Amino acid sequence: MKSVVSAVAAASFFTVSASAVLAVEATMIDTTITQAEVEAAQVAWGEALVQISNDYAEGGIDKARATAEAVIDAAYGYGIGPVLFKPTLAAAPQTFRTTSEGALAYFVGHDENFPGDSGFALKGWTAVEIENAAIFISGNTAKTIGNVHITDTTGAVTTVDKTWGYQRDDEGNLRIVLHHSSLPFSAN
């Protein structure tokens, strides 16, 4: 007799044990995001940032821009709708980069429509460490908050406060639909 625990059994009106199940393998539709998927997406973002810096050093703006476009296409959710993106160094009146053009300009600059952008990803980044303070996963959505530490070629480390929001898309991939990055507040 198969031994199983169930809510109904727990209700304690059973004194018998006279039921069994011969099971088949169930079809499962489970779109819940795992913590491993979230962390993989975070690491991939860091890899991408360093890659763009490397590509800029090796191949100039054209190579860097091509990589940045591929990253934005693969990792962000601009195909779903406006992305809730507030880059670290974006200033009013172009604070929020809800379009892929705005995201690309932020990462690689060289866009006359975004005159304040100098290309954040071009600054010679060599390493990215993500230090999560909390992760919240609800079904096919996930949110993270914490510090991200970015190292440049001199070894100097920049720390930002960063939030990411992810959505699993119809192909099963996580996409960044929210990205709020800010410089740490200092009372001084």
Binders in 91-120 for a copy of itself, by CB under 8 A: 91-92, 95-96, 98, 116
DSSP 71-121: HHHHHB-TTTS--EEE-TT--TTS----SHHHHHHHHH---TTSTT---GG
Region 152-171 residues binding a copy of itself, contact defined as CB under 8 A: 161, 163, 165, 167, 170-171
Contact 83, 90 (CB under 8 A): no
User: Is residue 123 close enough to count as binding a copy of itself by CB under 8 A?
Assistant: no
Residues in contact with a copy of itself, total (CB under 8 A)?
Answer: 106
Region 17-36 residues binding a copy of itself, contact defined as CB under 8 A: 17-32, 35-36
User: Is residue 16 close enough to count as binding a copy of itself by CB under 8 A?
Assistant: yes
Contact 104, 75 (CB under 8 A): no
110 vs 168 by CB, closer to a copy of itself: 168
- The distance of closest approach from Cβ of residue 168 to a copy of itself in the complex, given in angstroms and rounded to an integer, is 9
User: Is residue 60 close enough to count as binding a copy of itself by CB under 8 A?
Assistant: no
Non-local (6+) Cβ contacts of 6 within 8 A are none
User: Is residue 64 close enough to count as binding a copy of itself by CB under 8 A?
Assistant: no
Contact 147, 160 (CB under 8 A): yes
- The distance of closest approach from Cβ of residue 68 to a copy of itself in the complex, given in angstroms and rounded to an integer, is 10
- The distance of closest approach from Cβ of residue 141 to a copy of itself in the complex, given in angstroms and rounded to an integer, is 5
188: DSSP letter: -
In the set 57, 59, 62, 74, which binds a copy of itself (CB under 8 A)?
A: 74
In the three-class reduction of DSSP (H, G, I as helix; E, B as strand; rest coil), residue 187 is classed as coil
In the set 104, 121, 122, 174, which binds a copy of itself (CB under 8 A)?
A: 174
Spatial distance between the Cα atoms of 81 and 107, rounded to a whole number of angstroms: 20
Region 130-149 residues binding a copy of itself, contact defined as CB under 8 A: 130-147
Spatial distance between the Cα atoms of 155 and 146, rounded to a whole number of angstroms: 21
User: Is residue 13 close enough to count as binding a copy of itself by CB under 8 A?
Assistant: yes
